[in-house]
Structure 1
Amino acid sequence: MQQLSLLGSHERGILSVAYHSQSGLFFSGAKDLMALGFDCRAPRRPALSLQHEDWVAALHAAAAPLLPHTIRTGDKRVHTWDVRFPTAPLPELPHKQHCHKQLISGLRSDALRLVSCSLDGCVLSSSVEAAAGSSSTSLSTEVLDVAAAGAAAAAAAATAAAAAACFPRAVGQQHSDWLLAVDFAETKLAAAAANGVLRLYDFSQRLLQQHECKRRCSASF
C-alpha cells in the first residue's frame, strides 16, 4: 500500500474519518471542534470546514438515495450537513433533540433510521418506520423508550433533503460503561461497550441479548 499524500489542517488530534462518495471528499473530525473535507486532487488545504461546539468523534458519510449530498457528524448532538451548502447544519428540529450528555462515539444512518451511541452509555435510535406505522417501537424495554416527535417538510431544496431525514426520537437509558461503536442491519443493532460487552438489540421484537466478547471490544476514533 503506497501513501499518496498527507492531509493535515487540524490543530489537534483526529478522532474520526469517513469518505463521502458523492462529493469524492475525505472527511476528518478532530479535537479542534472541526470536521474538514479534503479533495485528494488538492490536498494542501481542506475543501470544506464544518464548525462544531465540541470534539467531533463520529462521522457518517454513506449517502442514502434520498440524501446523496449529506454527511452526518456528531459532537454531543447529531448534525446533518449538505456538502454543497456547508456554512451551517441543515435545520432538523427532531435531531436537535437527538443529543447525548457526553461525546457521540458512534453514528450510523440509512434512508429510514438514525442510530448513535455515546460515552454517556446511551443508544439513541430514530426511525421513519415508527412514524409511518403510528406505533411505538423499542430496542428494549430496559434500554429504550420511544418519545413522540414530529417533522415538518421544508420548501427550499437544501432543507428538503433535511426533511427527508427527520425522525421521531427514541431515548435510551444509560449503561454503566462507555459505548464506543454502533452499527445496525434491517432488524438488528449492535453496540460495543468499553467493558468488552457487545449488546445486540432487535428492532422488531423488543428483545435484548448480551454477548460477552472473548476479546475486549475496541474502536478507534
Structure 2
Amino acid sequence: MLKKIGRKILAVLIIIIITILFNKCSNSHKPRSRLNEIKPLSVTVEGVEFKVGQSKLGAILDGGLLISSNTSLEKDTNGLQLEKMTYYLAVINKDGYNLGQVNFVNNTEQSIGYRDCIISEYEMNFEKAEAGIKKNKYDNILIDGVNFKGKTINDVKNIMSKKTEDVDEILQPDGSIGILSYEIENISVSISFDYTTKIVSKVNIYVPNTYFE
C-alpha cells in the first residue's frame, strides 16, 4: 500500500515538474505582462505604419523600408540575432535617406531575430545631419496622425492638448520652452524646439524600459 502511494506521489510530482517546464518554455517568447499597461502609439513613415510598444521590427521591413545598424546606412540587419533581454538601436531608411531611428528590444528569455523584436522607441531629428550621416527626410512622417515638421511651440501645445493633459515644460536659458514632455497612456512623447526659430527640432516617442522588464 505504501509503495503504491509513493508511486502516485512521485507521478504527481513528475507531472507538476513537466507542467512548470512546459509553461516556462511556452512563455519564453511572450512579451512581459506590464506591456498591457500601455496603449501603443502609432507612427507612419512613408506610408508604413507601426506602433511603438507593440509592433515588431518586421512590420517596418515588410512595408518596404530598410533597417540599418549604423548611421551611414551601409549595414543592414538581415539575419541578425539579438540576445535575450537586450536593446538595440537602428536607422530606418529608404533610397539613401534617413527616416528616423528606432530602438527595439528582445524581452524574451532567448535570442531572437531582429525582425521579431518589439519597437520600444522612435526618434526623428530635424536638425542638420552630422558629417558622415545621410540626409534626413521627414516630409511624410506622422506621429499619432500628426506631421510635426515646421510646427511652432503653440502649434504643438494646441495639438497635444487634445491628446493629454500630462505635460512638463523644460525651459531654455532665455526662459522660452525648450522641450515639451508628454505622457500618453504610459508612453512618453518628448518634443524639442530649436533655440532660435522655436520650431520643432526633434520628436521622440518611447516606452520606458521598466515595461519590458
- The TM-score bracket by the shorter chain reads under 0.3
- Structure of higher CA gyration radius: 2
Q: TM-score, with normalisation over the residues of structure 2?
A: 0.26
Q: TM-score, with normalisation over the residues of structure 1?
A: 0.25
More helix by share: 2
